[in-house]
Amino acid sequence: MPAATPFRGAGRYAPSPSGDLHLGNLRTALLAWVLARRSGRAFHLRVEDLDRVREGAEQRQLEDLAALGLDWDGEVVRQSERGEAFTAAIGVLEAQGRVFECYCTRREILEAPSAPHAPPGAYPGTCRDLSPAAREQGRGRMRELRREPALRLRAEVPSWQVRDRWAGEVTGTVDDLVLRRGDGVVAYNLAVVVDDAAAGVDQVVRADDLLSSAPRQAHLAHLLGLPEPGYAHVPLAVSTAGARLAKRDGAVTLRDRLERGESAAAVVERIGRSLGLEGCRSARDVLERWDPATLPRHPWTVDLPG
């Protein structure tokens, strides 16, 4: 009989291997690690490689996280190797009658009139209730375009509520979200729900630009009979211009800073200062000293010399 795990749940960090992690990414990873370790949870690393992948980026990201003092439990999971699990989840929703084919192009969705109060570009429900003849016409059109129809969730509630560690109760729209794209790639919202549940993740720490996605993901977990995780969204890192931090803002990655003579310990110290801490030179220092109740609720403005 296997030995009982010493962990109580799990946290995770899930980067996309499209390039090197910038300081905002590293800060979020550090906070996810601290919150998991402090609460006795396991900490898992998942590579979300279903979309754009830059050669060598995954290994560089793992090396950068380790350089800051982060460790993780178990093997690194790659979403590209999880196809069977995603297909099975779609099958569960199909058995519930909650999946429909969508034959719209992205341009058609953007140009279609939206429902009242819906954000620009929201799916207008074009293919939700087509007749059998119209569906067959749509399939024929897809064959001409040499692509498969997208699969969408037939949402039956307008909204769902989640609780975030810092934002409190958050109610968000539940829409007919894409489950599998027309190119056959499973959509992010489904993949993240299935993968978190499979890894026992009950604490999702990520940047707050994804907070609006939490209600629809929690609802999807509910439909799949999976546990809903707790959420903890942290403020984004932004440039001095107030825009989301990006490579174009200069020397914003760990490797950039190392090339300019800054050590990994100094980068941790910089992140620590963004949390109101002085003199933190390792992830362990932040773990021992940071009080989550003091997390600044405003974006972290990254002002870097050189």
Give the residue numbers of the binding site.
12-16, 48, 102, 104, 123, 127, 188, 206, 247
In the annotated binding site for Zn(2+), the residues are: 102, 104, 123, 127
In the annotated binding site for ATP, the residues are: 247
N-to-C CA span, the chain: 57
Question: Nearest 5°: phi and psi at 300?
Answer: -90, 115
In the annotated binding site for L-glutamate, the residues are: 12-16, 48, 188, 206
